[in-house]
Structure 1
Amino acid sequence: MTALQLGRLLNSARKAKGLSQNDLAAKVGVGQSRVSHLEQHAEEMSVAQLMAWCAALGLEVSIGHRGAPAASSSTSVW
């Protein structure tokens, strides 16, 4: 996934939840302008910010080898 794709995914997920940029900003502890900026420049997002956004939007982060079958969600939970 590219940074552009990540930004679009986060934007779509926010909208699907019916959240404004202000709503999400309040949930993750940043300003609305930062939400706007990071949706356009996701490459500047820290891992901590990504995890907070995913928690706020009900998203899950998965890391694995490309082409490998997705791991079961029951294998390891943080």
Structure 2
Amino acid sequence: MPPMSDPLLTASQLSSLLQATRKARGLTQAALANRIGLSQSRVSHLELNAQDLSVGQLLAWCAALGLELTLGTRGSAAVSATSKTDW
């Protein structure tokens, strides 16, 4: 999976990224759940509802999938492009 260059601005985008990355890594929900200490049903729920992820769960999820979480200041172009977010 190529490095992501676009910022994540919504929980829906995070959900899509987490699910797509899991699939690209060839992991089932059950295999990921085992790695991060959750049930398969909880992984399924969180893939569809990323707004319910705790920070700890998100960090564990990123580590299990080889993702890096980076925060930065939102640029003016991103602010104008997202007048409404689902957070």
Q: Could you tell me the TM-score, scaled by structure 1's length?
A: 0.84
Q: Deviations over 1:15-74 (max 9, x none)?
A: 000000000000000000000000000000000000000000000000010129xxxxxx
Q: Secondary structure at the match of 2:68?
A: coil
- Which stretches of structure 1, 4 residues or longer, exceed 2 Å deviation after superposition? none
1:66 aligned onto 2:74: yes
Aligned residues: 68
Query: Which one of 14, 18, 26 corresponds to residue 10 of structure 1?
Result: 18
**Aligned partners of 1:24 and 1:52: how far apart in 2?**
10
Aligned residues with identical type, % of pairs: 59
Matched residue, 1:71? none
In the alignment, structure 1 residue 49 sits paired with structure 2 residue 57: yes
TM-score between both structures, scaled by the size of structure 2: 0.76
Where does structure 2 lack aligned partners over 5 or more consecutive residues? 1-8, 77-87
Provide the C-alpha distance between the structure 2 equivalents of 1:27 and 1:7, rounded to a whole number of angstroms: 18
CA RMSD of the aligned region, Å? 1.1
